[in-house]
Copies of this chain bind each other. A is one copy, B any other.
Amino acid sequence: MNKIPVMEIFGPTIQGEGMVMGRKSMFVRTAGCDYKCSWCDSAFTWDGSEKEKVRMMTPMEVFQELKALGGNNFDHVTITGGNPALIGDAMKEFIELLHQSAIEVGLETQGSKWQDWFYLVNDLTISPKPPSSGMNPNLELLDDIIFKLRDFKSNFSLKIVVFDDEDFDYAKMLNNRYKESSIPFFLSVGNSNPGEDGDISGRLLDSLDWLWGKVLGGPEMNNVRPLPQLHALVWSNKRGV
């Protein structure tokens, strides 16, 4: 029996980022990642610090826990990680199970690994990691993923987290690389201190102001959409909401 390594299941809450910003959604966070980003805000999914919380669950068990938690108070599930693209057939089964109940599926992955079930995802975010992460994405592999999704006419977008000028230049490079393909392209302001307590909205809004200035500064990024993490603005750094 195929199983999914589940780190946490929570919701309903509001999706605060990217292409379906504002969408009411349940969240399923898978364990395990092939990256180790310096600023990873969910390092607990892969650094072993919470490994006793990981549960190996069948797609039906995850579905049932979502229904027990959310009842009929949702029609969208966001799958995030870690990197959910590390999971094969079990994820395909899980997405099909949700679709059978008319529940839409959003998924975010860094674009380091392809899965055929990407085609089933209603809103798919490919989020290559910029230099500040310390990672160095394989761009040929990324091309392959992006062009497959484009040719299939998938509803997907690119999203780059931007912390600094170097990240912005990286996003610019990617935007030029894929501009011809007219793929929705989002920038997300990095949260430089995801552990900070208290109201962090002022700091995050200042960062967004900076990023807007960069985008407005020249024509190369005319088409990109710089956005905040809304949930961090409203709820600061709380986890599980």
Residues of chain A having any CB pair with chain B under 8 Å: 12-14, 20-24, 71-76, 186, 199, 201-202, 205, 208-209, 212, 215-216, 218-219, 221-228, 230, 233-235
CB atoms of B72 and A14 under 8 A apart: no
Closest Cβ–Cβ distance, residue A221 to chain B (whole Å): 7
A171–B206 CA distance with the chains assembled, in angstroms: 32
Give Cα distance in the complex from A122 to B89, angstroms: 38
B14 lies within 8 A of A226 (CB): yes
* Known contacts A205-B201, A233-B205, A24 near B222 by CB under 8 Å: yes
CA–CA, A227 and B74, complex, Å: 17
CB contact under 8 A between A234 and B205, given known A22-B225, A22-B226: yes
Chain B positions within 8 Å of A73 at CB level: 216, 218-219, 222
Could you write out 27 A-B pairs with CB less than 8 Å apart?
A14-B215, A14-B216, A14-B226, A20-B225, A21-B21, A21-B225, A21-B227, A22-B186, A22-B226, A23-B225, A24-B216, A24-B223, A71-B219, A73-B216, A73-B218, A73-B222, A75-B223, A76-B222, A199-B202, A201-B201, A205-B233, A205-B234, A208-B230, A208-B234, A209-B234, A212-B234, A228-B230
In the A-B complex, the 3 residue pairs with the smallest Cβ-Cβ separation, listed nearest first, are A22-B225, A75-B222, A22-B227
Cα A144 to Cα B99 in complex, Å, equals 32
- Which B-chain residue is minimally distant from A220 (CB atoms)? B73
Copies, count:
2
Name which residue of chain B comes closest to A202, CB basis.
B201
B-side contacts of A215, CB under 8 Å? 14, 24
Q: How far is A209 from B238 in the complex, measured between Cα atoms in Å?
A: 14
Residues of B near A72 (CB, < 8 A) are 219
Nearest B-chain residue to A223, judged by Cβ: B75
What residues of B have a CB within 8 angstroms of the CB of A227 in the complex?
A: 21-22, 230
Chain B residues within 8 Å of A202, by CB: 199, 201
Partner pick for A216 among B13, B218, B219, CB 8 A cutoff: B13
Whether the Cβ atoms of B212 and A14 lie closer than 8 Å is: yes
Q: Contacts A23-B225, A186-B22 given: A233-B233 contact, CB under 8 Å?
A: yes
- CB closest residue in chain B, given A227: B22
A227 to B17: give the CA distance in the assembly, Å.
11
